[in-house]
Amino acid sequence: MSSNAPAVLTRRRPSIDIVDAKVAVDLATAQTYSENVFLFVPNLIGYSRIILAALSLHYMSYHPKYCTVLYCISCLLDAFDGHAARALGQSSKFGAVLDMVTDRCTTSCLLCYLTSAYPEWALAFQFLITLDFSSHYMHMYSSLITGSRSHKQVDSDVSRLLQMYYNPRTLFVVCAGNELFYIALYLLKWVHTPMSESLGMTGPLAEYTWPQLLAYVCGPICALKNFVNLVQLWKASKILVGVDLAERAKAREEELSKNQ
């Protein structure tokens, strides 16, 4: 264990290491217009997502159409900021954190509404909020502390499941399915007309409403997403414990070297 500790602890990040927070604040304050991270196109998309999400929350309790459209647009824009960052060379740690925080807060606000719409399932929704925040926070922190350029870069020797999950296409499908399931639960409180009446459908599915069918289709994807959250939380916990053990081993080695 002690022989591996220095390698783990001394691996350098590919970016500049800033130790003093005051230095970081000064750099951000003095940034030029041409290199202003706050004004990077992906981050501007992120700000628009926040505005759209806020508007959707405003309409959530009394106008389901406006709420759903605004919420879906906000979620869909999440697929564009990453492409813009790579195409324009404007990837940033601020943008990555902004994107993750926006996702977590937007979904949590919808789940908070669902706790009032389905009080009998309030504890389950509260658990999902807690799991989502804790899983992503610990995963991002463990990624930063081990020098990863992005929390979406996961080696197969750490977790094959997480590596597959963070594939851009897989990530889009799973996240979209997860959000659509929650949206379907929201719309179930507003849409009560079966498709036999609203769309003139016939057959065994005609007596269901379209939010019910959407919930049935996306429910398994939501279950998969939260299983991945559990795996992510566990893996991140193990990484942080491993770093703790490595740091303790290094501290013991340094103490021994001082006493010799």
Q: Which residues are catalytic?
A: 103
Which tokens hold the place of 145?
A: 């502390």
Q: Which residues contact 196 (CB under 8 A, 6 or more apart)?
A: 202, 206, 207
Nearest alpha carbon to residue 148 among 5, 6, 12: 12
Nearest alpha carbon to residue 176 among 131, 238, 221: 221
End-to-end CA distance of the chain: 21
Alpha helix (H) residue ranges in the chain: 5-10, 21-29, 41-59, 64-76, 78-88, 93-117, 122-145, 160-165, 168-188, 195-198, 210-259
Amino acid code (one letter) for 62: Y
Amino acid code (one letter) for 170: T
3-state secondary structure of 216: helix
- Residue 19: Cβ within 10 Å count: 6
CA–CA distance, 192 with 128 (Å, rounded to integer)? 26
Interaxial angle between packed helices 93-117 and 168-188, expressed in degrees from 0 to 180 and rounded to the nearest 10: 30
Contact present, 90 and 80 (Cβ < 8 Å): no
Place of tokens 């669902």: 114
Q: Work out the angle at residue 151's Cα, subtended by the Cα atoms of residues 149 and 153, and round it to the nearest 5 degrees.
A: 70
Place of tokens 């304050």: 29
